[in-house]
Amino acid sequence: MASQSGQGIKKTLSDHVNLMMVVKGIVVSYLITIPTFIIFAFILTYTDFPEKYISTVVIITTIISILTAGSTATRNVRNRGWLNGAIVGAVYMLVLYLSSSIVFSNFTIDRHVTVMTLIGLLTGAIGGIIGINFKRGSHSKTKR
Whole-Å CA distances, 135 to 75, 77, 106, 119, 141: 6, 9, 41, 24, 10
How far, in Å, CA of 56 to CA of 33, rounded? Answer: 14
- The reply to whether the predicted model has a pTM over 0.85 is no
Predicted local confidence at residue 75, as pLDDT: 84
Can you give the residue ranges of every domain in the chain? 10-134
The pLDDT tens digits for 91-102 are 999 999 999 889
Please choose, from the candidates 144, 79, 92, 80, the residue with its C-alpha nearest in 3D space to the C-alpha of residue 120. Answer: 92
Q: Indicate the burial class of 123 (C-beta count within 10 angstroms; 0-12, 13-18, 19 or more).
A: buried
The pLDDT tens digits for 58-110 are 999 999 999 999 999 888 777 888 998 999 999 999 999 999 889 888 888 89
Q: What is the CA radius of gyration of the chain?
A: 18
